[in-house]
Structures are given as C-alpha cells and as structure tokens.
Structure 1
C-alpha cells in the first residue's frame, strides 16, 4: 500500500520493492535481508509453486531498505551484501525452474529435491561455481546436456526420478566425487563414466541394468559401488582391479557366481544376498584380507570352503537361507567374528536350538568340534584289514540277541567294515556309534524305506539324520496307528500338504530340512499347528 501511495503522489522511490505481478506465497523480507549478509537462503517447505522473481534477482536489485530513511549500523550496510552461494528450495511444489537461475552465478549449492520438476533449465550449465546439485525425488525424464559443463561439480544427486538414459558427456564432470542415480529406469550407463577418476561414491541401485561396462574399473578413486536390485547376471572381471574399492553392494540381482577379487586389497564389505549363487570357492575369498562384512543370505550356496578362515578381519558373516549342509569347524577360530547367521540351512551337524543361542555359543561349539577332530594320543590303534574281530570288539551276542550294533567310545574316524559285515542277515533295531570322531555319518537312507508303508501297525518312525528326499502322504495316511514321525535333518525339499491329513500324528518333527515352507515360525508352534497349516494348503 505504501508503494502504491508513493506512486500516485509521484514519489521518486515508487516502483522499488516486490513486483506487484509476482504470484505465490511471499518470501519474508527478513529472510532476504539475512541472505544478503550470509550468502545462504533456505526456502524449503513453503509450498512454493514458483520461485519469486526477487529471489533470482537478490544480488541485482537495490534492497528495499535502501529507500527507507534509516540510519545504518556497521552490520546493516546493504551495499556490502554477499553474493548468494547456497539456495535451498527443497520440499515445495515447483514444476519447473526459471532460466533466471543464471542470475546467481556465485551459487555453490543448489538443492531442489522433493519437488515436482519434470525438466531442468539449460541455464544451469552457466553456474560455473556449482559444487553440489540435489534434484532428487522429482519427476525428471532427462538431463540437459548443458549440465555436463559444470566442471567444478562434486556432488550430483539424481535419485528417485524417471531417468531412462543419461547424456554421453557425463565424463566431463571430472571433479565429481558423489553420484547417486538410484531408483530410476536406467538400462545402461555411458562408457564415459570411466573418465570420472575422482568419483568416490556411485549409487546405481534400483534400476534396470543388465550389465556394467568393463571400463568402470578405471574409476581409480571409487570406494563405494552400489548396484543393488538390478538385473545383473555377471560382473565384469575388471571390477576386481579397482584397488580403492571398500564397499560393494550386489544384492538382489541374478548373479550365479561371485567374481574373484585379486586386486581389491581394501574391500571391507561385500553384499551379494538374494542372488542365485551356487558356489563359493577359495578363489572368491583368498585375496579378501580386509573384509569385515560378507553377506550372502538367500542364495543357493551348498558349501563353505575352508579358506573362509583366511578372512581374519571378518566381523559379520550372513549365510542364512542357503543350501549349506556342513560348515568348516575352523570357522569358530575367526578372531573378529561377532555375527554369524545360519538359519534356513539344512545343517546336519548343528542343532536348531544351538542356532538360536547366538553367535558366541555357535562359535564355541565349532571350536569344540575342531578340537574333537584332533587325534587323541590315547586313541586305540586304527582298524586295518588285518584287525581281528576281537580287536574290533564286535559283540555278536548283542547283534543276534539284542538286535544292537555297538561301536561307541572308540575315538574312531571311521566305522570298520567288519562291523557291518558281522551283521550279515541279522535284523538290527539299534545302532550306537556315539563318542567317536566320525567326520561323516555312515551310509544313510536316501529314500523313505517303502517297507515301512506296509507295516500299518507301526506307531513310531524315527528317520532323522538321513538323506530322505520325499515321502508319500497317502501311504502314511493308511498307517492309522502312527503317532510319531521324526524326519529331522533330511533332504526334504517340500512337505506335501496332504501330510496334514495324517490325523493320528501327535509328534511330527521336520526341522533341519531344506524346504522353504512351512517356515520355522510355524514349526515352532508344534505338531497340531503344522498339520493345520498343511491342511490349509491342500488344493480345493
């Protein structure tokens, strides 16, 4: 109103102040005055649909207070204003940025994240002093080529947009140290990325990449590379030559194997969970002397090589939900290991309750088993082909009369063939091989003995710690007296839903098998809950 009155009265000061045609919420003059002194202006979260013109012209127009009859202290000298170097416009409703952004050539930081931008002005390329540009969480479908002129840019944040391709000139951003392209629609990245030799952090997560260019290995300063949740089936072998790489994220891809890392001496974290990796071998591990985190959960790994013990700095090892049946006992000697996840594996030598006791108890158990493997000085002489039956202490009376095959407390590494030969055609009901040093269980059932199905009066079947891969629920239903069925630690890949119809079962033990369902939480609820769950999955 004051400005309007001055204009009507012919006041020579008329026309200064905020233009009347300007729309959108006003920016308080107090903020503008403070920005002229500090060189920083924060307009985040003000529901701006456009940037007021006097913001772009903050260093060009004469301040309003210059036309007021005021006395100035040393701290209020508007003519000594500072050029704007930092402008924050985050969390507004901006759909575009004006080309007038070029009127702020001193900007080193421009933050417009969390808006509704569908494009960027080409004038951004004229901000030759810009060091950080945050345009994340917008709706950008492309990047102007002019952006590649920002030779002083160190941080470029483009994550959570709708980018499907990038300009080929990305390599001109030679001073870039941080680049975040995650959560876009990228199907490939320019080969010019190889020129980003100062890049320290590169985030490519949550895109549609099927491969990485081998030239990416030229990024000699790269410490962190995140390729989580793409469609990578392989990783270029040259990736292993990135000498500065410390953190590598390959989770949620389609990898079937890990690359070898002969030159990644500094690699501290390797995350490759939720892939299709089947083999973990010595070559994958033997050079990773600095590794502190190895995450391989939800793969198809069947075994862990003894070379895992070379990872002397390992603090976290996640092998959950794989197909691992045994572990090297020396794993318990890793001096820095604080977290070990093994749940969801068909482990035969480790009880489920031990897995639930935590890492330290588990490591203690592994160390104890390793000590058991060391030959005792008081061990009996090894059994040879010349050993007499009396020396093997075969108790024929126990075999023929008690149906018992006994060979316990011998500290033996193998059960001599004479023990099995002595049984001949005699039926044996109980075998006791306890307190030995067996490194494998003697030959076991690989299939459910069909003869058991025909003994319909059976009340108990104990087949734990075998290699049974399947069962016939329809045959089991005919065994109307069957109360206990123990199939722990076998090779069941699935539990047929029809097993839920075996209504006489009071004890059903299925832990330690590689099937995915029922989950451990269901098994923990007991037999009744498991049977009810199985019945609910029977096709209608």
Structure 2
C-alpha cells in the first residue's frame, strides 16, 4: 500500500467528506476484517474525527489517504499513534510533516510521495522500526539528515526530486546497515561518490536520470552489482 504509484491524476476541488455524507464510507465491517482504513480519492481536505474514532474501535493499523486534497497531516491521526504500522499520505498537497510524527513508534512503512515537501523534522528519526520511506515526487534538494538515523530502514525511495548530492559517509547513508533499496533517479546529482560502492547492503540501486557523467549509462544499464563494482574500483588507494 505504501508503494502505490503516481499514475492517476490528482483530483481537484470538492469538500471534505464525512461518514454521514457518504453512506458507503467508511465500511466498518471491512475495517474490522482487514484492519485497513482506505480513504483514497475522496477529495478530503481533512480527516473526519468520527472516521478516526471508528478506526480506533476496529484496531485499524493501516491508513491510506492517497490522492486527496490534504494540506497537512491530519492531527486526528494522533489517536491512532499506537496502532499504525503503515501510513500512506501520497498525492496530496502537504508541505510539512509535524513533529508529532515521532509518536507513531510502530510505523514500518510511510509513503509521503507526490506532495510539496522540502524537509522532514528531526523527530522522524525516532521511528526506529521504520523499514520503508517513500519521499519521491517532492521538492527535496537534499536528503533530510533525520533519515540517516533510521537504523531499521531497508528501502529509501527518493526519485523525482531536486537532490544534488549523495552522502555515502558513515554519517550519511553509511549509517543505515539494512539499506537494501535506494532509488535516486531523476534528481540533480552531479557526482556519484565512489565510497557508495562500499555499502554492501545495497542490492538495488537506481541512479538514472541525473546529470553526472560517471558511471556512464552503459554501466547503469548493467545493474546494481556492476555499478557498485565500478564505484569500488574508483576509490582512491
């Protein structure tokens, strides 16, 4: 769910809906059986409190609010902070992430793609169980430093931003011992540091669509193992 793509167009206009205005939403019995609150493409500008109350009663642990008109993370979600393991806020109009995100200590996956984000709060580093973070299709010029403290992170998807450099040092990506997938395609990266090749946990690396000259396209096309070997061979002795 967190990995949902960005292919469908964003809906425009409309008002926030509530359970009363839409008798088909939410489906209480579906939430009870699946533990999922799915409110995608509902033109929501806020998350009605009655829906959150119902989700708490049904012990919902996955929330998807993809493709709505949210301009901020609904504060009502704080009532679910001890339940949520997955949160999908992709394809909204959110420009900042509040510090209360640190309360969601059980989160394993969070999708913030397709928003207006330029930064993340340091409090996000408190999500020590987080395995997957998707910040693609935003406005980042660099990877937020809080990411480097997410010790359980396995997948980092940051394509289609304006990221200019890769920090592969021990204080950067090198601090993520479980990182297996790194997607930095379609950014503004000028140089790929050879030391990135030493991050042996990475088995899926995507770097195409950037203005760097090395590695060349032919190397990129050969796949992750070839890219990593190429980089290691360029580390100064």
Interval containing the TM-score (normalised by the shorter chain): 0.7 to 0.9
- Does residue 70 of structure 2 align to residue 209 of structure 1? yes
2-structure distance, mates of 1:235, 1:271: 13
1:312 to 152, 157, 177: 177
Distance 1:206 1:226 in 2: 10
User: How far off its partner does 1:266 sit?
Assistant: 0.8
Counterpart selection for 2:141 from 278, 287, 297: 278
Q: Is the 8 A contact 1:233 1:254 kept in 2?
A: yes
Cα 1:189–1:142 shift into 2, 3 Å: closer
Residue of 13, 16, 19 corresponding to 1:143: 19
Aligned residues: 211
CA RMSD between the two structures: 2.8
Match of 2:60 among 185, 199, 207: 199
Contact 1:218 1:242 (C-alpha < 8 Å) held by counterparts = no
Residue 359, structure 1, aligned to residue 224, structure 2 = yes
Structure-2 separation of matches of 1:182 and 1:343: 30
User: Is the alpha carbon distance of 1:251 and 1:368 closer, same or farther for their aligned partners in structure 2, counting shifts above 3 Å?
Assistant: same
Name stretches of at least 5 consecutive residues in structure 1 with no aligned partner: 1-140, 157-172, 375-540
Partner residue in 2 for 1:291? 153
Query: Any runs of at least 4 consecutive aligned residues in structure 1 with deviations exceeding 6 A, and if so which?
Result: none
Shift of 1:142: 5.2
Per-residue deviation, 1:217: 3.5
Q: Relative to structure 1, is the Cα distance of residues 363 and 189 closer, same or farther in structure 2, using a 3 angstrom cutoff? A: same
| Unaligned residue ranges in structure 2 (runs of 5+) | 1-16
Match of 2:132 in 1: 269
TM-score when normalising by structure 2: 0.79
Contact kept in structure 2, 1:201 and 1:223, CA below 8 Å = yes
Is the alpha carbon distance of 1:274 and 1:359 closer, same or farther for their aligned partners in structure 2, counting shifts above 3 Å?
same
Post-superposition offset of 1:154: 5.9
What SS class does the counterpart of residue 294 from structure 1 fall into? strand
User: Equivalent of 2:118, from 243, 253, 256?
Assistant: 256
Aligned mates of 2:149, 2:103 — CA distance in 1: 12
2:94 to 232, 239, 252: 232
Q: How do 1:144-223 and structure 2 match up within 5 A?
A: 144=20, 153=28, 155-156=30-31, 177-191=35-49, 193=52, 196=56, 198-219=59-80, 220-223=82-85
Distance in 2 (alpha carbons) for counterparts of 1:334 and 1:319:
15
2:103 maps to 1:241:
yes
Query: Mapping of 1:318-397 within 5 angstroms?
Result: 318-370=183-235, 372=236, 374=237
Instruction: Measure how far apart 1:176 and its partner are.
Output: 8.8
Higher relative contact order (CA 8 A, sep 6+): 2
Q: TM-score, normalised by structure 1?
A: 0.36
Q: In the alignment, what sits opposite 1:431? A: none
Q: Give SS of 2:233's match.
A: helix
